[in-house]
Structure 1
Amino acid sequence: MNPLFPLAPLAPLALACLACITTAARAQGVATDAQLAPVLVLGTAIKSGLPATVPGTTASKTAEQLREQNLFNPEDALNYAPGTTVRKRYLGDRNALLAGRSFGTLQPSRALVYLDGYLISNFLGRFDAPRWNMISPEAIARVDLLYGPFSALFPGNSIGTTVAVSQRVPQGFELSGRATASSQNFKPYGQAERFNSGQASLHVATRFDSGLWLSADLNHQDATGQPMQYQTVTASAAGAFPATTGTATRVTGIVYDTDAKGLKRAVFGANGGAIDHTVQDTLNLRGGAMLTPRLEASAMASWWHNDTQTRNDSWLRDAAGNTVWSGTVTDGTNTFTIPASGFAPATRLETHQQLGATLKTKRGPGWNGSLVVSDYRLLKDAARQANNPDPVAANGGAGSLTLRDGTGWNTAEVQASYTPRDDDWGNGRHTLALGLHRNGYRLENAVNTAADWRHDTGTPSQFYGGKTALTALYAQDAWRMSEDWLLTLGWREERFTTDDGRQLGGGVTVNYDRRTLTGSSPKAALAWAATDRLTLKASLGRGVRFPNVEELYNGTVTSGSVTLSDPTLRAETADAIELSAEQEWDRQRLRVSLYADDVHDAILRQTTTDAAVCKTTATGAGNYTCVQNVDRVKTSGVELAWQAQDLGVKGLALEASAAYTFRSEVTANRRDPAMVGKWWLRVPRTRATLQASYRPDRQWLFAAGFRHQGRAYNDTYNLDVNPNVYGGVSKLNQLDVRGAHKFTPQLELALGVNNLTDQHAYQSHPYPGRTLFAELHFNR
């Protein structure tokens, strides 16, 4: 039996349901083709990955549209999505976090991501990023987004945004691939260095006369990112740096700037394994067949391997020109102490596996049924951290080994829906959906002290881990009250349990009691077709997001940081409303949405240098990370999305979005009243995107994209008054361009540039500088 989730007890129920029920959403991996919503993209009907009767606002990108931008990693597909932030720090980043209208990248568990219906959202913690690595960019068929907790078909993590990635299913023999190279010259603080990356993808698939289809995708990338963080010492408000003792080495290379809070800061170089060289390989095998004329099965097996080596860059040089990595140093004006671990390197080896299977009936209209199961497992995850700087660590020495082997999650879902037959599609018809969902997450995080950080197994020093499980029942009914009116009502009932929570630290093991939480989520949406081309919609819904394992149990201490969890965390509950109007013309579409979220017990995970923020008596650490409930946070705003094609110029396509946040602030917090009235973390005041593509003929493509995000706060009390520096959340104004030429119908060469103006931007970490791309693509 699977240790994360015993599926066996559900088997009889699943088989019984399959005899009479159907699915309602491809995003859940269980929809019949008849249930899929046709998305109108300027006159072209394209099958969506979201349910046909989904309430709320949606957005989408097809594979053809994605060819009009520089797409290196799968998450790049969301770069120009309305109301969306992708915190991808560098090419090959494994922690590309999602943020949306009312939540920042410190609350990424408010986003759901599915791959062909299989959940790839990482709700264990550890940065909470979806496992984008399981997707091969060459295999993406389309990406669909749903905003807000308005559909009962999705778990409470849909408080913010739901993303459904669909991969290609062959209709015959397919062979395609691409090779991409990139390069950026990154020069912060005057320290210029070139960082190069490359990627190769291959897609092979076929469909036999019997209906059996098979697909294989292989993706390999070798990427090096720009520095992510820097060794710094910050002065007091009076401008004085901390006092030091001992004989100081005279050095050059210290750079001074002002940090995000307006304090004087000394910078010594890129530290903490700042420069990441990652080699990643993904193998994705899929297949499907009609077992009977009315019963279809499909399955997926994917593996991802990562080999990471990180390094550092000290800018300090002594009188002889030698690099100085640690100790007491002075430039003749100020004296500082740099710890031996400041410029310490790290390595990481990871192997992940995802397995999934879907069984569904295809009877057309009427009742159908399906079952989807999946399992995501960290087969190997070994992170090694040195205690000494690069040149010393290269020969061994003390360090630590963090193991997460066996960590993972799995899901099972039985869904049902009823679609009216052709003769029932009059007024008063009902389209029903109901289902049972269960998922289980398990986290094992062990830290060992190693005498030789490069290969020793070491002795246990710290541990945290635990399990969570969520069981949900839901129902949804889309009622066509009249020709012009559609009312959608839904309800989701969820039961959350957590057990086996434990921590080891300082030689003491703490075990936590089992907890059970429940949540109810009513939903309602009313749509009115005011005219043949104007639709008005009002959507209301509640979403309940339960805490993840790390938020509950991660209590760790390193030489430079302290992490504090809260095993008594409450679930966060969001009551959301959206009013939208969508108008279509022959060659244009415009949507305007007003939205508001009222979140109770918001779960906030933040990192700070101030121990008082985390309410701890621990001192001496460079950083503190803590998790806490914030009583109430309110967010409201307006969003516009516009599309146009062949508007005045044949072959010209335009897409634009703009959003303005009226407010996103803490309105109540008994635990920390000083937060009240402060802007919610990492939610910008403004967002905007613009994409333009021009195809003068079938051979040429010229495209440009612009992304804007206003400044946001990275400090609980909004004290970061200087956001456009390392550690702040700055404005982003990035222009990307791309040009492509097809030499033959099968062979295309593309050249592009991201961040053409080389703008320096930060989401705490620095974003990439100007990056050049070259891509060769083939298909047959």
Structure 2
Amino acid sequence: MFSIHARPVFNKRLLGCAMALVAAAGHSSIVQAQTTQQTSSNAAAPIEEILIWGSEAGQRSSLSHPASVLTQADLASINIATTEDIVKFEPSLVIRRRFIGDSNGTMGMRGANMFQTSRSMVFADGVPLHYLLQSRWNGSPRWSMVSASEIAQVEVLYGPFSAEYSGNAMGGVVLIESAIPQEREFHFDSSYYSQEFDAYGFDDRVNGYKSFFSVGDKIGDTSLYFSYNRLENDSQPQTFYFGANNSSPTAANVSGGVIGNDQFGNSQLWFGDTGVVDTQTQNYKIKIGHDIGAWSGLVNIAYEDRASSNQPNAYMRDSSGDLVWSGNVRQDGNGISIPAGRLGVGEQERDSLSLGLRVRGPLTDTIDLETNLNQFAIVRDESRDSLRNPADPGYTPAGQVTDFGDTGWQSAEVKLTFNQLGVDNLSLVTGLRYDAYELNIDVYDSNDYRSGSKDQLNSSSGGETDVSAAFAELSWLPTQQLALTLGGRYESFNSNGGYYTTQVGGNVQPIAVPGQSRSAFSPKFTAAYQATDNLTLSYAVAEAYRFPIVEELFSQYQAYNTINQANPTLKPEAGLHHNLGVEYGFDGGYIRVNAFQESIDDVIEAQAETLAGGISVRTFIPIGQVDTLGGEFIVNASDLWLDNLDLRFNTTYTDNEIVRNRVDPSIEGNVYPRLPTWRANLLATYHISDDWNVGLNYQYADTSFGRNDNRDTEQNVYGAQDGYSRVGIKTDYRFGNGFSLGAGVDNIGNDIDFVAHPWPGRTVYLNVSYDWQ
């Protein structure tokens, strides 16, 4: 539970929402109609206005760009623990956060699945949070660099229809804006979490808590803000293990293993799991805003200190009652082999620093400037894993240490907005952007993993990429009912400094990888037409090129049972995207329907094969073409059916197909992985009084596949891509003395579903907060 200080004013949520089209749009009938179509709860009544840096809350960037806006009033039915919770109920968007505090909270949007992390972008106050260095579970946005309790507004843009964003916006863009202090203030909130979980050989309750406080003030023209966020949580086991079939006559007889199917429907004998994952995340944030006349500047400094560890569980016991950690075993006629290192312990420490600067203001009466600079550095990222479990009689301190060297990114952008170009209602946004990324990973054999000793280099890989871009977008209102935008983005991509190592005669030998240079131009066009006072039609079309990231090009290593092969010649993904929208507005809300189509060539896919003995070999190989046809039905309304009842409902249909694949034609015609046909979300909030809310939330998705060959059809087992239907409730009460209390439950039915790894079971939330100003 959280809140942000504000002062009461009348609702202006959509005032100026078409300023991205033309500066004069505030006087047009399109904007006049849209300002009467409220996008969130309590639209007709006085509400609190959240002051965010440089703009008003509730703005929507463009009428013709499919988008969704969230303010604090829209979050009353969500049990919020971390930042990604805020957007997980939005249309055509899925967050794979496996537990509270998960560092791998990946995001998928529209035709991009939850592992195609390089096809979505996240910005907080202009600072990139998307992680375009690694992919799949390692490519999650750095959500923890911004705390949920400091967020004022979120806008979700769908598709690459704006020239201001790169091809990494194929799925979409999440724009987070935080509050900036206008007076002296203090905020504190604390939450307790408790989850039930029962699967395979694990049955227990895991708990956690979060504490957050912030202080802020405005002294003259300078706003100061400091916050500290600490999250500690234990998760359910994330991986469950079965053994490779083994008919050794010397296999020991054991008991306690769990017999059940894998995702392919094959019966397996499960012998253990990774155990509870204990996570601790601390975030420190400083924001300094300063106004000089009409100019504003914002300095944003965020530091993350994160640690996690796990203690695996063994299920099997021998005839003496001792736990079995490795070897050839037999239970009820099933013989398997348990690798010695499979149940080893692991721990990770990660420190990250983000520096951001945003400056904007008028150069002249008709020209505005905005500049964004960012530096993100991984100060430390080290994983330490043992070769055996400490409880294993064969245990030694030997293990493996994985260490990130010079890793991070820099970005710089300058953008000019010309509000008058000599033609009525014509404006131009144009600018330059530069992004540079570097990734270096070393894997060491260690004689003492606990101390992190790096005794023998096992493998090393890394490299650099950079993208330089120039963009321009013209916006025009030829009539009071029609808005048009025409834009384009030119990008120049380079990869260099790539390397990996190979083992020669027991020695590690470095191999330099040739770089590449490519360029691409992406045209964009959007149109919005106001047919009546309530009805708006829109169409958007865009090309987009998503260039490969460092991991896809250069990452090559062997870590225990995983081998990753580099592919430095990858071409960019090339997409053609369409969106046709119809929106009907009414007092207190709107109904919106979007039909979208995406056709993407050279889809970069991490394809893996498991060899005998459980060794997994993975490399990034392009799939020739993947097509997606989809539709969204969205209802956002206040006072719907009942006074004081607010509703946000959306459902999404997608039809995905692998159209061409030269490497393996047998998968042509298959459904692309991790993209369910149907998804739906519901947020319903009833305001019992001005201070007391009760809410209901619901999430639904049907089953999907996890593999291109679509062979994984078994459900409700580890490794499956289950459908799910989860119901949650929440209530909060605000006292007159600054205190608020809240409580909620997610997944009331305690359904145990899997997205390869398990989703959380029934989770209870208790919250308390205090505000002073």
Q: Identify whether the pair has TM-score above 0.5, normalized to the shorter chain.
A: yes
Structure 2 residue identity aligned to 1:245: S
Counterpart of 2:312 in structure 1 is 312
Distance in 1, matches of 2:358 and 2:342, equals 49
Aligned-residue offset at 1:626? 2.2
CA distance in 2, matches of 1:415, 1:699: 42
Q: Map residues 296-307 of structure 1 onto 2, 5 A cutoff.
A: 296-307=296-307
Q: What is the distance in 2 between the residues matched to 1:668 and 1:233? A: 35
| Rounded Cα–Cα distance in structure 2 between residues aligned with 1:464 and 1:381 | 15
Aligned-partner residue type, residue 70 of structure 1: N
Q: CA deviation at 1:725?
A: 1.6
**Relative to 1, partners in 2 of residues 1:674 and 1:27: Cα closer, same or farther, differing over 3 Å?**
farther
Q: Tell me which residue corresponds to 1:81.
A: 90
Is the CA contact 1:604–1:627 (under 8 Å) kept in the aligned structure 2? yes
Task: Tell me by how many angstroms 1:277 deviates.
Answer: 0.6
Q: Counterpart of 1:311 in structure 2: which amino acid?
A: Q
Specify the alignment match of 1:578 in structure 2.
579
Residue 189 of structure 2: aligned partner: 178
The AA in structure 2 aligned to 1:551 is E
Residue 554 in structure 1 maps to residue 547 in structure 2: no
- CA shift in 2, pair 1:351/1:396, >3 Å: farther
Alignment of 1:364-375 (within 5 A): 366-375=366-375
Q: Could you tell me how far 1:418 is from its partner in structure 2?
A: 1.8
For residue 123 of structure 1, the aligned residue among 132, 146, 153 is: 132
1:641 aligns with 2:634: yes
CA contact (8 A) 1:27 1:117 kept: no
- 1:9-41 CA deviation, whole Å, 9 max, x = no partner? xxxxxxxxxxxxxxx99999xx9xx99998942
Matched residue SS, 1:323: coil
Shift of 1:645: 1.1
Query: What is the distance in 2 between the residues matched to 1:133 and 1:182?
Result: 17
Instruction: Report deviation, 1:55.
Output: 4.0
Please say if residues 359 and 370 of structure 2, whose CA atoms lie closer than 8 Å, have aligned partners that are also in contact: yes
Cα displacement (A) at 1:378: 0.4
Shift of 1:564: 2.1
Q: Write the deviation string for residues 106-163 of structure 1: whole angstroms up to 9, x where unpaired.
A: 2111000001111111110052110001011110111110000100011110000100
In 2, distance between residues paired with 1:629 and 1:338? 34
1:149 corresponding residue in structure 2:
160
Distance in 2 (CA, whole Å) between partners of 1:599 and 1:677 is 15
Q: Which amino acid aligns with 1:432?
A: L
Letter of the structure 2 residue corresponding to residue 725 of structure 1: V
Structure 1 range deviating more: 591-600 or 404-413? 404-413
Q: Which residues of 2 match residues 89-108 of structure 1 at below 5 A?
A: 89-108=98-117
Matched to 1:76, the amino acid is D
Q: Which residue does 1:704 correspond to in 2?
A: 696
Structure 1 runs, 4 residues or longer, greater than 6 Å off: 24-28, 34-39
What is the CA–CA distance in structure 1 between the aligned matches of 2:529 and 2:188, rounded to whole Å? 45
Distance 1:554 1:103 in 2: 22
Q: Which amino acid aligns with 2:211?
A: A
Counterpart residue number, 1:261? 264
1:468 aligns with 2:460: no
Kindly indicate whether the alpha-carbon contact (under 8 Å) linking 1:380 and 1:406 is maintained by their aligned counterparts in 2. Answer: no
Aligned to 2:3: none
Give the aligned partner of residue 482 of structure 2.
485
In structure 2, distance between residues paired with 1:458 and 1:717: 41
Give yes or no for contact 2:58–2:71 (8 Å, CA) kept in 1: no
Kindly provide the amino acid, as one letter, of the partner of residue 321 in structure 2: G
Shift of 1:246: 6.0
Contact 1:246 1:328 in 2 (8 A): no
CA distance in 2, matches of 1:634, 1:257: 35
How far apart, CA to CA, are the structure 2 residues paired with 1:724 and 1:395?
Answer: 34
For the 8 Å contact 2:18–2:61, the answer to whether it is kept is no
Q: Residue by residue, what CA displacement relative to the aligned partner does 1:483-514 show, whole Å, maximum 9, x if unpaired?
A: 11111101000001000000013123211112
Work out which of the residue numbers 59, 65, 69 in structure 2 matches 1:56: 65
Match of 1:652 among 626, 645, 670: 645
Query: Equivalences for 1:412-561 in 2 at 5 Å?
Result: 412-420=412-420, 428-455=424-451, 456-506=453-503, 507-561=508-562
**Could you say if the C-alpha distance between residues 508 and 477 of structure 1 is closer, same or farther in structure 2, counting changes exceeding 3 Å?**
same
User: In the alignment, which residue of structure 2 is the partner of 1:227?
Assistant: 237
Aligned with residue 672 of structure 1, among 642, 664, 668: 664
> Aligned equivalents of 1:348 and 1:93: distance in 2?
13
Asked if 1:249 corresponds to 2:258, the answer is no
**In 2, Cα distance between equivalents of 1:267 and 1:518:** 50
| Residue 587 of structure 1: aligned partner | 588
- Asked whether the 8 Å contact 1:145–1:162 carries over to 2, the reply is yes
Q: Which residue of 1 aligns with 2:39?
A: 41
Which deviates more, 768-777 or 126-135? 126-135
Q: CA deviation at 1:517?
A: 1.3
Structure 2 residue aligned with 1:111, among 110, 117, 120? 120
Distance of 1:105 and 1:505 partners within structure 2: 32
Any conservation in 2 of the 1:122–1:129 contact (CA below 8 Å)? yes
5+ long unaligned stretches in structure 2: 1-15, 51-55
Query: Match of 2:140, SS?
Result: coil
Contact persistence 1:650–1:696 (CA under 8 A): no
Match of 2:724 in 1: 732
Q: May I ask how many residue pairs the two structures share in their alignment?
A: 731
Q: Distance in 1 between matches of 2:436 and 2:294?
A: 31
Task: Quote how far apart the aligned CAs of 1:406 are.
Answer: 2.5
CA contact (8 A) 2:38 2:589 kept: no
The 10-residue stretch of structure 1 (492-501 or 669-678) with the greater mean CA deviation from structure 2? 669-678
**Is 1:715 matched up with 2:724?**
no
More displaced, 79-88 or 331-340? 331-340
* Unpaired segments ≥5 residues, structure 1: 1-23, 235-241, 612-618
Give the match's secondary structure for 1:150.
Answer: coil
CA separation in 1, counterparts of 2:74 and 2:392? Answer: 49
The aligned counterpart of 2:621 is: 628
Give the C-alpha shift of residue 607 in structure 1.
4.1
For residues 544-589 of structure 1, the C-alpha deviation after alignment (integer angstroms, 9 at most, x for no partner) is: 1011100111111123122123111110011000000000111331
How far apart are 1:91 and its partner, in Å?
Answer: 0.9
Q: Cα–Cα, structure 1 residues 303 and 111, in superposed 2: closer, same or farther, change >3 Å?
A: same
Alpha-carbon displacement from aligned partner over 1:745-772 (angstroms, at most 9, x marks no partner): 5111111111110111111101000011
Asked if the contact 1:27/1:164 (under 8 Å) is kept, the reply is: no
Q: Does 1:687 align with 2:670?
A: no
Deviation at 1:528, TM superposition (A): 0.3
Does the CA-based 8 Å contact 1:396-1:454 persist in structure 2? no
Deviation at 1:620, TM superposition (A): 4.2
Task: Give the secondary-structure state (helix, strand or coil) at the position aligned to 2:200.
Answer: helix
From 192, 199, 206, the equivalent of 2:203 is 192
> What amino acid is aligned across from residue 341 of structure 2 in structure 1?
S
Q: Scaled by the length of structure 2, what TM-score is found?
A: 0.91
Please give the alpha-carbon distance, in whole angstroms, between the structure 2 residues aligned to 1:624 and 1:25: 49
Q: Distance between the aligned counterparts of 1:691 and 1:296, measured in 2?
A: 36
**CA shift digits 1:395-416 (9 cap, x unpaired):** 7521111111321011000101
User: Which residue number in structure 2 is paired with residue 21 of structure 1?
Assistant: none
TM-score (normalizing by structure 1):
0.90
* Match in the other structure for 2:212: 201
Quote the RMSD (CA, aligned, Å): 2.6
Against the structure 1 CA distance between its residues 698 and 607, is the aligned structure 2 distance closer, same or farther, given a 3 Å change threshold? farther
AA of the residue aligned to 1:98: M
- Say whether the 8 Å CA contact 2:38–2:590 is kept in structure 1: no
- Classify the secondary structure of the residue corresponding to 1:153: coil
Aligned-pair identity in percent equals: 26
Instruction: Say if 2:673 and 2:705, in contact at 8 Å, map to a contact too.
Output: yes
Question: Per the alignment, in what secondary structure is the counterpart of residue 462 of structure 2?
Answer: strand
Secondary structure of 1:90's counterpart equals coil
Q: Which stretch shifts more, 475-484 or 505-514?
A: 505-514
Cα distance in 2 between the residues matched to 1:330 and 1:400: 30
